[in-house]
Structure 1
Amino acid sequence: MTGADGRGDRERSDDASESTAADAVDPGPAVADPAAVIGRVPTEAGLRRELAAAARTLGLSSSIEGRLIELRNRVAAIEVEPVDLDAARRRVADASGEEERLKERVAALRGGVQARREIEAETDEALDELQSAAAELSAAQSERIAAEQALRRARTRAADARDARERRLELRDRLRNRRRDARRELAREVYPSFRDALAAVPGVDVDDAGADPGAYDGPSLAASLAAVRIADLDGAVVLGAEALGWIAERGGSAPESVLDGPVVRPCGRPRL
């Protein structure tokens, strides 16, 4: 029944959702907010994630919790500085262009001064203009040198940023893997309670549970209901129409008795 009811797809979706969240800072625990996972049914989560969330509500933690927090802190400590190489390149291009323009102007003015001297004409005004253009050229050359130095520094920062991003991605991959390990550990720890809870869920054969979470071959909704049943949630569980229909069509037990806790129906009115 795994393929038919989507249990396998949901397990793969759990892994995919983590691998595509590379830019988010992962929390330390294997499941940071259990209610966000099992506070409603259908949960849209895999069985191990559901069971790990239930385990967290019971005060359980994995043996690698400290390692998760350490990795989380290492990820958060890596800051990647944004570097605008395009702006630095434009500054060099602009400064170089201005320098070349002024070089041509200085050369032209120098030629004009020489020509006036050859005909023994007045050169004071032409020399003043040449001196002014030469000062502008000197400033433009200084700006070009500064722009080139800034570009070199920006390239160094960009290389450092690439290295930092690679380190952060590597740590995030390790963190996701360790969180997956922690969920598996927590899921195994509460699996006997989950098997017992399945007996209270209509429409499921307890034998479908197998010996561990990876062996479960029963209906997805039934597994979600059993996972919620063993959890110690503070508030009521929101049951969607699909979950309510599942219970009603398979014996008509009250949802509250199936979950052993308060329920909120789609209309939003709890019935305790």
Structure 2
Amino acid sequence: MSRSDSGGNAGGGTPGLGIPSPEAVLGTVPTDRSVRVSLAAAARSRGRTASLASEIAQLREEIASITVPTVDLQSARRQLADATGEEGRLKERVATIRGDVRARRAVDADTAASIAELQDAAAALSVAQTDRIAAEQGLEQARRRAKQARDERERRLRLTDRLRNRRRDARTELANSIYPAFREALPAVPEGDLATPGRDASEYEGSRVAASLAAVRIASIDGPVSLSPAVVSAFESWDGPPAERVLGVRTTRPEL
């Protein structure tokens, strides 16, 4: 039985492909992973790499480089509303004082105080108008940033979807690359002779126990592999070699 295609144990996980380390996937039998993920991990343990690995790495880098700006449109709208309200209030005040000045002039009353008050109100109105214009510009800039943020979020979602699809394709590629060895291993494990392997990982029909044992058998891992009670029972009722000889790794059993 060949335990490695590359003469060494690949060991570590491949987070870029979304595949945990082979030991993490295959360290307990039956695994809690799909046949595809289990076989992809077995393929990685034998040093195999998916052809999509470089594209996946590029997508991950592109996603990581995306910065979505934080935009407070509500605050910008509130500032414009406040500035507009203050401008309106001062316009009314200027109009009122001007009316008072005209009324005093009509009766030849002293207008000095009213004119001074008008000058102060007009100056305050000028400042308020400047603030309102700045608030309008600030809101427009905030709207542009908000659109940019939406565009970046949508771009990140598209890339994330693409990355998820590429990872799935990579796992399928790795699983299918080792599927012939998996089919050959099935008859050598308990319950494997009852399985219908099909042409690839998506067509496998059979017990999880057999699939997990066959995946471990063709993988190159250091072990130990923990056997569940169901697997222990399967070996005890099976007329074949013991677990460690079948799997090629040291095994542990649950304490009863």
TM-score by length of 2: 0.79
Aligned 8 A contact 1:54 1:228 in 2? yes
RMSD, aligned α-carbons: 2.9
SS of 2:88's equivalent in the other structure is helix
Match of 2:210 among 219, 222, 242: 222
Distance 1:42 1:128 in 2: 91
Aligned position for 2:45: 57
Aligned position for 2:220: 232
Distance 1:250 1:32 in 2: 27
1:9-88 aligned at under 5 Å gives the runs 27-29=15-17, 31=19, 33-88=21-76
Deviation at 1:224, TM superposition (A): 2.5
Aligned 8 A contact 1:30 1:52 in 2? no
Aligned position for 1:12: none
The worse-fitting range, judged by mean Cα deviation, of 148-157 and 77-86 is 77-86
Distance 1:102 1:219 in 2: 81
Aligned position for 1:168: 156
Which consecutive unaligned segments of at least 5 residues does structure 1 have? 1-25, 268-272
Distance 1:149 1:140 in 2: 14
CA deviations over 1:69-124 (Å, ceiling 9, x no partner):
12222222222222222222121111111111111122122222322333333333
Aligned position for 2:81: 93
Deviation at 1:249, TM superposition (A): 5.0
Distance 1:105 1:259 in 2: 91
TM-score by length of 1: 0.75
Aligned position for 2:136: 148
Distance 1:264 1:121 in 2: 108
Q: Would you say how many aligned residue pairs link Structure 1 and Structure 2?
A: 240
Q: Whose radius of gyration is greater, 1 or 2?
A: 2
Aligned position for 1:244: 229
Deviation at 1:51, TM superposition (A): 1.0
Deviation at 1:140, TM superposition (A): 1.2
1:208 to 2:196 alignment: yes
Deviation at 1:200, TM superposition (A): 4.5
Amino acid paired to 2:115: L
Aligned position for 1:123: 111
Aligned 8 A contact 1:49 1:187 in 2? yes
Aligned position for 1:191: 179
Aligned position for 1:18: none
Identity of aligned residues (%): 53
Distance 2:78 2:225 in 1: 58
Amino acid paired to 2:84: S
Distance 2:96 2:127 in 1: 18
Amino acid paired to 2:233: A
Deviation at 1:32, TM superposition (A): 5.1
Aligned 8 A contact 1:30 1:182 in 2? no
Aligned position for 1:110: 98
SS of 1:209's equivalent in the other structure is coil
Aligned 8 A contact 2:17 2:171 in 1? no
Structure 1 residues 248 and 135 mapped into 2: Cα distance closer, same or farther (>3 Å)?
A: same
The worse-fitting range, judged by mean Cα deviation, of 225-234 and 56-65 is 225-234
The worse-fitting range, judged by mean Cα deviation, of 246-255 and 166-175 is 246-255
Deviation at 1:199, TM superposition (A): 3.7
